[in-house]
Structure 1
Amino acid sequence: MNGLSNATVGQLGQQGPGYDRAALRAGVLHFGVGNFFRAHQAAYLDRLMNMGLAQDFAIIGAGVMPGDEVMRQTLAAQDYLYTLVEQSAGQSQARVLGPIIDHIAPGDTRRLIATMTDPAIRIVALTITEGGYFIDATTGHFDPAHPAIAADGRDPDNPATVFGLIVAGLKARRAAGHAPFTVMCCDNIPHNGAVTREAVTETARLSDPALAGWIAEAVAFPNAMVDRITPATSDRERRLVREEFGIPDAAPVFCEDFTQWVLEDNFPAGRPPLEQAGVEFVSDVTPWEMMKIRILNGGHAVIAYPAGLMDIHFVHEAMENPLVRGFLEKVERDEIIPAVPPVPGTDLGAYFARVAERCANPKIGDTVRRLCLDGSNRQPKFIIPTIADRLARGLPVTGLALESALWCRYCAGVSDSGTEIAANDPNWDRLTQVAQAARQDPSAWLAMSDIYGATGRDPVFAAAFADWLERLWRDGTSATLAAYLGH
């Protein structure tokens, strides 16, 4: 095989799609065709299509970032087919998926708006990362004054952001007399549907308050909890899929065998029968999203920064380190899990045990660096709210203060061995400067109000943070973790 394509996929036998892709019709426009989307939402649709369902909910991709164009070109070269490799500790299974049928080039605004105007498009979905929502950490709300959003407000007919584009699509749809599409956020943000609603309506309000009011009343923004560990693709994954499965794929996706999607059933324009593919529909997703964001995503942060400072490359290797694993288990059981409200039908202790098992899966090849990525956007969503909740209840935050100190120490830009840590955050230069200043004045780190808000001014948290940061610089990560664990 020269490469994966419609012409060659038939040679894969049972590994290829079991449906006629030529008969598919678009029903979903998706912003952010990255690995997680392709391992999660697209995989659910592929499962339905293999059952003979959802043939009119094929996906058209879209994006606004340079990386979106790279992905578009890569997928277009192989007719938007790609390989999904699901891995448990004991085995790996590969199949070629085909629910994506097109991808609009970034900057092709006219075509993108025209596509969203088409009544066949009933869902516009997003996976644009946690940092893509223009949230002001001080207020916890969307920031309409952000320069990119303000620019869309001044020129709404030529938007450059995802939210400006969605507003333009809804405006054109209303003008054409078509019912609005549902906007479905699939990013790891608490109340992600509500966050997206605010972003879209407030972007619209800058140029058309009446349109903003219509969006608030007429457009559905269901909340969702999504979960699947999905590492980045490198040459390693491209080589493995070629050598182990005989598939010449330039854009394979490797992921764990676990997947979860809890979704509020609010789709006035219609939706695929996702419940037949394993999606759990609920009236209020809040308990599930808080469980996942605090226990899993918060747990990732607890693993990430000590492992990064100890020069550990893979997440499963970090889980093999008794200090890192002990740190995770103690912080989770002492501080994080007690701050998670009950979840219907779920044992939180068992859920965490499954999280730990997933992180320890050696087949995934997930990297510590990926977990360390973008802390300035992730900490305010995954860690700091738990700290704030515990402080409000008068409960200790010893372990979470250590996690924050580890993040600060990591952002200083050098590991315990003296190895340079390459830039790993959109705000890396600022973080590095502040982290280095915090070595002498820990309060400098907590003074970043756009990240810590009022929590950084709490004297109990500030004292614990300062103590741990001093220990990390003086004694190193291993000795500090040992002290926390009482070794």
Structure 2
Amino acid sequence: MKTSVVLNQENLSSVLSNVKVPNYNRDEIITSIVHIGVGNFHRSHQAYYTDMLMEQFGVTDCGICGIGLLDYDRKIYNILKDQDGLYTLMVKELDGTYSARVIGSIVEFIFAPENPLAVIEKIAHPDIKIVSLTITEGGYNLNEATGKFDFSNPVIIEDMKNPRSPKTVFGYLTQALKLRMERELGGITIQSCDNIQGNGDVAKKALTDYIKETEPDLLPWFEENVSFPNAMVDRITPVTVLEDKEILKEEFLIDDQWPVVSEPFIQWVIEDDFKAGRPVWEKVGAQFVENVIPFENMKLRLLNAGHTLLGMLGALYGYDTIDEAANDPDFEKFLVDFMDIEVTPTLGDLGEINLKDYKKSLVDRFQNIYIKDLISRICSESSAKVPIFLLPTIKDQITGKGNISRANFVVAAWCRYNDGVDENNKDYEIKDAMSDRLIRAAALSHKDPVEFLKIEPIFGDLIENKDFVESFTIALEKLREKGVKNCVQDINATETNLS
């Protein structure tokens, strides 16, 4: 019986032939990309595209240097250090089969809390053309209601007091860009890969506000030499669980401390606005366009909002994974009607995109029983997700006097979710930067449902819309009285699918 191989550069030649491994010389790779936030999604998406580019076309100047900014990142830093930056991507197909590929595009990694100056110097290195980001929706430090940078954040205050020992992405970028200016280096691109509409615009807004306040003399150079292309990213990438590591070890004989699991579908649509050039990612499937907004709207309002919908309803009913909720006939119909009746009218002209096929593919992806995407992951940090994924549809439908009953029901379900217990009296943790405020507002909503809508950073002035407030109030009261399943069945029975 063969034994598993510990994953590292030295052991690559011993990996089974049914696993793709880097055949390029990683010692010859030039690092031109710094990536901040090396989580599972980055490793299943951008790092995967880059690995394919190196493997299939022999490109050697697009190596990635990962940056871990938070103490939480020490684990991935230590693991990738042990594994020479290598990790395994396992793709779970719809039929339950697996494929495995060892990714080699991350050739450096710096753990920022141990050496802040090394991060600043790396970003300021002449070879670096792109700084890419996956720092989550809430990582941009903008007030959702006002759009303004939150200078009251204690970590931001600390960065402003200690600019040479930063802790936030804004502190690091500002100091590195200042060095690039002083050394008369060329321009650079900051590329957001987060699930935010206009993610490049959001990154630019946040960093511009920070620079104006902390290094105003840098601003003219910054505006001339730094670009922020918007992009749409898509690949369902669940949390890695012990079972995944065991399957990798048993079926592929690879001992990987932190492999990544994803669905087969992948998409990356990017505005072609790069100050210092870029990898030819289009050779391996990325799409470069002049305007990414239609693609963003489609993905955020359908896929991401659909995830949130299934997460909230599924959590209340007692499901653990998204596929369980998506394969529930009542929740499936509710999801399909939400996409057809409430979201589709807000999307506008999508050109050659076949929206009907795209929506059908989403349902299939959600229902993939082999992608056990945890509902707890989808529901985490919802205070940053709901304003981006769900509220724009509600606002557009209000403006167009369209239907908002399902979207409003999901908002009500989110309020009910913050009670912290499902309909089987099973407790769960509210994982959210605003958890204290959400839990308090949900508690107050038992007496007055409108209390939940008073969270101004999330809902802004929506509370002034009588139709929205009335619809939400009715939905929440029925939800607490009848339960999620009965309410969904009532909505499904009384409203016709208009697609």
TM-score by length of 2: 0.95
Cα deviations across residues 285-309 of structure 1 (Å, max 9, x unaligned)? Answer: 1111111111110111111111001
Partner of 1:61: 66
Q: Which of 230, 234, 255 is 2:262 aligned to?
A: 255
CA contact (8 A) 2:195 2:232 kept: yes
Give the unaligned 5+ runs of structure 2: 495-499
Please report how far the alpha carbon of residue 2 of structure 1 lies from its aligned counterpart in structure 2 after TM superposition: 5.1
**Higher mean C-alpha displacement, 358-367 vs 37-46:** 358-367
- One-letter amino acid of the counterpart of residue 104, structure 2: G
Q: Which of 432, 451, 461 is 1:444 aligned to?
A: 451
**Higher mean C-alpha displacement, 272-281 vs 143-152:** 143-152
Please report how far the alpha carbon of residue 163 of structure 1 lies from its aligned counterpart in structure 2 after TM superposition: 1.2
- One-letter amino acid of the counterpart of residue 249, structure 1: D
Rounded Cα–Cα distance in structure 2 between residues aligned with 1:54 and 1:193:
26
CA contact (8 A) 2:66 2:106 kept: yes
Partner of 2:497: none
Q: Which of 244, 247, 251 is 1:240 aligned to?
A: 247
Partner of 2:177: 170
**Higher mean C-alpha displacement, 44-53 vs 420-429:** 420-429
Partner of 1:151: 158
Rounded Cα–Cα distance in structure 1 between residues aligned with 2:157 and 2:436:
25
Partner of 2:474: 467
CA contact (8 A) 1:242 1:248 kept: yes
- One-letter amino acid of the counterpart of residue 38, structure 2: V
CA contact (8 A) 2:166 2:172 kept: yes
Aligned-partner SS, 2:65 = strand
1:80 aligns with 2:101: no
Q: Which of 109, 112, 115 is 1:106 aligned to?
A: 112
Rounded Cα–Cα distance in structure 2 between residues aligned with 1:154 and 1:95:
45
1:119 aligns with 2:126: yes
Partner of 1:133: 140
1:434 aligns with 2:441: yes
Rounded Cα–Cα distance in structure 1 between residues aligned with 2:464 and 2:407:
15
CA contact (8 A) 1:19 1:52 kept: no
CA contact (8 A) 1:85 1:255 kept: yes
CA contact (8 A) 2:191 2:200 kept: yes
Q: Which of 380, 384, 391 is 1:373 aligned to?
A: 380
Could you tell me the percent identity over the aligned residues? Answer: 35
1:49 aligns with 2:54: yes
Please report how far the alpha carbon of residue 3 of structure 1 lies from its aligned counterpart in structure 2 after TM superposition: 1.5
- One-letter amino acid of the counterpart of residue 103, structure 2: L
- RMSD (CA atoms): 1.3
1:268 aligns with 2:275: yes
- One-letter amino acid of the counterpart of residue 345, structure 2: P
Partner of 1:194: 201
Please report how far the alpha carbon of residue 430 of structure 1 lies from its aligned counterpart in structure 2 after TM superposition: 2.3
Please report how far the alpha carbon of residue 152 of structure 1 lies from its aligned counterpart in structure 2 after TM superposition: 2.4
Rounded Cα–Cα distance in structure 1 between residues aligned with 2:439 and 2:150:
25
Rounded Cα–Cα distance in structure 1 between residues aligned with 2:20 and 2:225:
42
Rounded Cα–Cα distance in structure 2 between residues aligned with 1:120 and 1:292:
33
Q: Which of 35, 42, 45 is 1:40 aligned to?
A: 45
Rounded Cα–Cα distance in structure 2 between residues aligned with 1:25 and 1:216:
27
CA contact (8 A) 1:84 1:97 kept: yes
Written as runs of structure 1 = structure 2, the 5 A alignment for 1:206-245 is: 206-245=213-252
Cα deviations across residues 351-389 of structure 1 (Å, max 9, x unaligned)? Answer: 111111111111111112211111111001101111111
Cα deviations across residues 399-448 of structure 1 (Å, max 9, x unaligned)? Answer: 11101000111111010011112232222232122112112210000010
- One-letter amino acid of the counterpart of residue 93, structure 1: S
1:5 aligns with 2:8: yes
Rounded Cα–Cα distance in structure 2 between residues aligned with 1:270 and 1:362:
41
**Higher mean C-alpha displacement, 458-467 vs 342-351:** 342-351
Aligned-partner SS, 1:27 = strand
CA contact (8 A) 2:269 2:288 kept: yes
CA contact (8 A) 2:149 2:210 kept: no
**Higher mean C-alpha displacement, 136-145 vs 41-50:** 136-145
Aligned-partner SS, 1:104 = strand
Aligned-partner SS, 1:30 = strand
Written as runs of structure 1 = structure 2, the 5 A alignment for 1:296-445 is: 296-445=303-452
Q: Which of 103, 110, 114 is 1:97 aligned to?
A: 103
Please report how far the alpha carbon of residue 343 of structure 1 lies from its aligned counterpart in structure 2 after TM superposition: 1.6
Aligned-partner SS, 2:305 = helix
Aligned-partner SS, 1:188 = coil
Aligned-partner SS, 2:254 = coil
**Higher mean C-alpha displacement, 259-268 vs 153-162:** 153-162
Please report how far the alpha carbon of residue 201 of structure 1 lies from its aligned counterpart in structure 2 after TM superposition: 1.5
Aligned-partner SS, 1:135 = coil
Partner of 1:454: 461
Rounded Cα–Cα distance in structure 1 between residues aligned with 2:400 and 2:160:
41
Aligned-partner SS, 1:15 = coil
Partner of 1:179: 186
Rounded Cα–Cα distance in structure 1 between residues aligned with 2:223 and 2:154:
23
Aligned-partner SS, 2:34 = strand
CA contact (8 A) 1:201 1:213 kept: no
**Higher mean C-alpha displacement, 222-231 vs 368-377:** 368-377
Aligned-partner SS, 1:261 = strand
Please report how far the alpha carbon of residue 37 of structure 1 lies from its aligned counterpart in structure 2 after TM superposition: 0.2
Please report how far the alpha carbon of residue 340 of structure 1 lies from its aligned counterpart in structure 2 after TM superposition: 1.1
Cα deviations across residues 78-97 of structure 1 (Å, max 9, x unaligned)? Answer: 11100001122122210111
TM-score by length of 1: 0.97
Rounded Cα–Cα distance in structure 1 between residues aligned with 2:166 and 2:380:
28
Give the unaligned 5+ runs of structure 1: none
Cα deviations across residues 121-163 of structure 1 (Å, max 9, x unaligned)? Answer: 1111100111101111221343344332233233322221101
- One-letter amino acid of the counterpart of residue 319, structure 2: I
Rounded Cα–Cα distance in structure 1 between residues aligned with 2:328 and 2:106:
40
Cα deviations across residues 55-106 of structure 1 (Å, max 9, x unaligned)? Answer: 1111111021122111101111111100001122122210111110111112
Aligned-partner SS, 2:214 = coil
Rounded Cα–Cα distance in structure 2 between residues aligned with 1:373 and 1:460:
28
CA contact (8 A) 1:153 1:204 kept: no
Using a 3 Å threshold, how does the CA distance of structure 1 residues 2 and 346 change in structure 2: closer, same or farther?
closer
CA contact (8 A) 1:446 1:457 kept: no
Rounded Cα–Cα distance in structure 2 between residues aligned with 1:77 and 1:269:
32
Rounded Cα–Cα distance in structure 2 between residues aligned with 1:416 and 1:353:
30
